[in-house]
Chain A
Amino acid sequence: MKLVKKKKRVAGSYSSSSMSDIVFMLLFFFMVTTTMRDEEIMVKIKLPEATEIAKLERKDLTCYINIGTPQDALQKNYGTDTRMQLNDKFSTVNDIRDFVAAKREQLSEADRIQLTVAFKIDEQTRMGIVTDVKQELRRCQALKINYLALKPVD
């Protein structure tokens, strides 16, 4: 015995002219909101939470320092120790000087003083390496820093 009656299918037709409008709308939305990630993050980073935060303005004046343990796939080669990533390679504190100098080169004379160094640091990182980085930045006269954080979800 059939419990469900099969519905008769009616061949219908609908206009698909509005589909392209929708697709275009979505396209523009993603085009506007997208930000091209210019570096691949090679370390695992879970940002700490903070409430006293502000949006980072002027992305072009910002350079990023990533600190965390290497991604799972890279741990075979690089171990599980905390590492620092500048641009797209693992670096040490001594490389910061060149890194900041290279970023300064790209900026115009007037913007150089505005250069911000953003810290993307995993919350399990020990302060030792963070302090070393900060001391090196002081030596390089790159004094504007920003600790990137997440807004807590309530």
Chain B
Amino acid sequence: MADIAFLLLTFFLLTTTMDQNIGMPRRLPPMLEEQQDVDINKRNILQVHVNSYDRLLVNGKPMEVILLKDEVKTFIQNPNNDADKPEKETKDIAGLGSMSVSKGVVSLQTDRGTSYKIYMAVQNEIMKAYSELREEFSVSRFNNPLTKLTEEQLDAVRSVYPLNISEAEPRDATAKKKKK
């Protein structure tokens, strides 16, 4: 019996792979029949461009990836109600009453030559900004971190800080050059 057990043991030892599948879940927007131009006020958009040299341009200013998180946070929060930062609208949220919700949208545009590494780094920073905002809100409102909230509370927090990331159709720097 021990022989068989050993045989099975070696088999599983050799075939086993400790793969942990962890990743960043996302939802793609459905393909529309015709391209609609959604009119969004310019102040409500944070434009993040990444070029083929993996350099960032945030609303026209060059920026390092590690600074992006704070930029997104102040953009969404707009603590001083600046005129060039996004508007807020008052929404009725179940369980919280009326809250002011930012209309800000983060628009991410990459080039065909951008590396996947920097793309993921940028996405990660934006996500981090949103989860920090949600975490702060959760602690101040419910005195609990996000992980201890009930499902309804979590939904409420999510609707106070909805994840608004729009990915623009990619540019192709090489194609542009050819046209000229």
Chain A interface (Cβ < 8 Å from any Cβ of B): 19-20, 23-24, 26-27, 30-31, 33-37, 48-56, 59, 62, 116, 118-119, 121-128, 130-131, 134-135, 137-139, 141-151
Are B22 and A35 closer than 8 Å at their CB atoms? no
Are B112 and A118 closer than 8 Å at their CB atoms? no
Q: How far is the CA of A49 from the CA of B119 in the complex (A)?
A: 11
Are A27 and B30 closer than 8 Å at their CB atoms? no
- Most B CB contacts (10 A, CB to CB) among A52, A119, A143 go to A52
Q: Using Cβ atoms and an 8 Å threshold, which residues of chain B touch A151? A: 22
Are B27 and A145 closer than 8 Å at their CB atoms? yes
- Most B CB contacts (10 A, CB to CB) among A31, A124, A131, A142 go to A131
A-B interface pairs (CB < 8 A), number: 147
Q: How far is the CA of A51 from the CA of B131 in the complex (A)?
A: 11
B16 within 8 A of A: yes
Are B112 and A124 closer than 8 Å at their CB atoms? no
Are A52 and B27 closer than 8 Å at their CB atoms? no
Are A124 and B117 closer than 8 Å at their CB atoms? yes
- Given A30-B13, A118-B21, A123-B115, 8 more A-B residue pairs with CB atoms under 8 Å apart are A35-B19, A50-B24, A54-B23, A56-B25, A137-B28, A142-B28, A145-B25, A145-B27
Q: Using Cβ atoms and an 8 Å threshold, which residues of chain B touch A51? A: 124, 128
Q: Using Cβ atoms and an 8 Å threshold, which residues of chain B touch A138? A: 28-31
Q: Using Cβ atoms and an 8 Å threshold, which residues of chain A touch B111? A: 127
B139 CB → nearest A CB, Å = 18
Are A34 and B16 closer than 8 Å at their CB atoms? yes
Q: How far is the CA of A150 from the CA of B19 in the complex (A)?
A: 11
- Most A CB contacts (10 A, CB to CB) among B13, B25, B29 go to B25
Report B113-137 CB contacts with A as 1/0, cut-off 8 Å.
1111101110110011001000000
Question: Which of the residues B15, B26, B31, B124 comes within 8 Å of A145, measured between beta carbons?
Answer: B26
Stretch at the interface among B4-12, B35-43, B56-64, B96-104: B4-12
Are B128 and A52 closer than 8 Å at their CB atoms? yes
Question: Which of the residues B5, B17, B26, B29 comes within 8 Å of A147, measured between beta carbons?
Answer: B26
Given A23-B5, A128-B170; A53-B114 close (CB under 8 Å): no
Q: How far is the CA of A20 from the CA of B119 in the complex (A)?
A: 51
- Most A CB contacts (10 A, CB to CB) among B23, B28, B120 go to B23
Q: How far is the CA of A17 from the CA of B12 in the complex (A)?
A: 22
22 A–B contact pairs at CB < 8 A? A20-B1, A20-B5, A24-B5, A33-B16, A34-B12, A34-B16, A34-B17, A35-B16, A35-B19, A48-B120, A50-B124, A54-B24, A56-B25, A118-B23, A126-B116, A127-B170, A131-B110, A139-B31, A141-B31, A142-B28, A149-B22, A150-B22
Are B21 and A55 closer than 8 Å at their CB atoms? yes
Are A53 and B24 closer than 8 Å at their CB atoms? yes
Are B116 and A124 closer than 8 Å at their CB atoms? yes
Are A146 and B113 closer than 8 Å at their CB atoms? no
Q: Using Cβ atoms and an 8 Å threshold, which residues of chain B touch A146? A: 23-26
Q: Using Cβ atoms and an 8 Å threshold, which residues of chain B touch A141? A: 30-31
